[in-house]
Amino acid sequence: MRTHPFLRAFLAVILSSAPGTIGTLHAAERIAGPVAAELVRVIDGDTVMVSAMPWPGHRVTTYVRLRGIDAPELKSHCPATRHAALEAQAVLSELLAASPLVSLTDISGDKYYGRVVAAIRLADGSDPTTTLLAEGLAEPYRGGHKKTPRCS
């Protein structure tokens, strides 16, 4: 899989700004943050696109997978799963519309480096994944294999 240039640039900026890490970081390492970011758009129930500001005067646009959750897939063949995916996307969109400026923390590349994985905090300090989990719109996810949903 091809690494996206924006993602490479974002990670290079983030990683090179951490003291004592230049030349010593590996893909599995995490950056604590926070990194200020502005929402560009919600992709689905567990992925957003942001314009991140790793330091003043520098912006990088990248996809961010929300750390710790897995939401239903919009491209599912199952109508019930697609409906649940649209619900998760709508709730995440509503939460982020109220707080388009966010902070990214616990930042790392995902397993294919097509996006970053990060915790996202809203301006009020809340975590949108808490709402998605509480409303049953996402499941906890710590990596590895995802559950295959049954179509009903």
Residue 80 lies in a domain: yes
| Domain membership flag for residue 152 | no
Q: Is residue 150 part of a domain?
A: no
Report the alpha-carbon distance of residue 76 to residue 151 in Å, rounded: 9
**Average pLDDT, rounded, for the chain:** 83
How many domains are there within the chain? 1
Contact 47, 37 (CB under 8 A): no
> Is the residue at 25 inside a domain?
no
Q: At 108, which amino acid appears? A: S
DSSP element (H, E) containing 27: none
Q: Which residue has the higher pLDDT, 106 or 21?
A: 106
Q: Does residue 82 lie in a domain region?
A: yes
Helical H segments across the chain, by residue range: 5-17, 79-97, 128-134
**CA count, 13 A, side-chain hemisphere, 142:** 0
151 lies in some domain = no
> Which residues span the domain enclosing 76?
5-20+30-140
The per-residue pLDDT for range 78-124, each reduced to its tens digit, is 999 999 999 999 999 999 999 889 999 999 987 766 789 999 999 99
Angle in degrees, CA 68, 138, 95, rounded to 5: 90
List the CATH number of the domain containing 9: 2.40.50.90
Structural domain contains residue 148: no
Position 28 confidence tier, pLDDT thresholds 50, 70, 90: low
Reported confidence tier of residue 9, pLDDT bands at 50, 70, 90: low
Q: 100 in a domain, yes or no?
A: yes
